[in-house]
Chains A and B, each alone.
Chain A
């Protein structure tokens, strides 16, 4: 019951990430999906190492989100050579 609720939320957030218009809107939906994945890992593996993996995955994905958001501000609109 608990895993099913989080699973539906994760799939919904992933679809909204694909069909968003703006680039920073995509970052917010991606963050919500990361919360769901970390929770579902901790609910599926019921040993202490599962919690360690959930914490590691969450912190690592936050670091990569930080890097992506920083370079969104730096690269405003990039040039595409081949249309």
Chain B
């Protein structure tokens, strides 16, 4: 009934979500915020694949989602531990 309502289908919604996720990854500063926006981007990515009806590719992409996020989170938490330990040892060195 409205002309702009015909524009909204799975393809345009997925493209919008992808653009928002990419903008979030670029704009936000902290690494965990970037990981959250990456999880949003994966939703748009799977929607984009499904809208072209490559269903088997979408299945594989959906299964490999949490694996990539868990690998990134392991790297981030390990890096954070190392940096905190280094800062603490530097302060102790300044005092002593």
Contacts and interface: CB of A to CB of B under 8 A. Distances in A.
Would A and B touch once assembled, by the CB under 8 A criterion? yes
Interface of A: 3-4, 7-8, 10-11, 14-15, 17-18, 23, 26-27, 30, 33-34, 37, 40-41, 44-45, 49-50, 52-53, 56-57, 60-61, 63-65, 67-68, 71-72, 74-75, 78-81
Interface residues of B, number: 46
Contacts of A52: 59
Contacts of B40: 14, 17, 30, 33
Contacts of B87: 79
3 A-B pairs closest in CB distance: A64-B66, A7-B13, A64-B69
Contacts of A4: 5, 8
Contacts, number: 128
Contacts of B17: 10-11, 14, 33, 37
Given A18-B24, A61-B43, A26 B62 contact: no
25 contacts: A3-B8, A7-B9, A14-B20, A18-B20, A23-B32, A23-B33, A26-B33, A37-B17, A40-B10, A40-B13, A40-B47, A41-B46, A45-B55, A57-B58, A57-B62, A64-B65, A65-B39, A67-B69, A67-B70, A71-B77, A72-B32, A74-B77, A75-B76, A75-B80, A79-B87
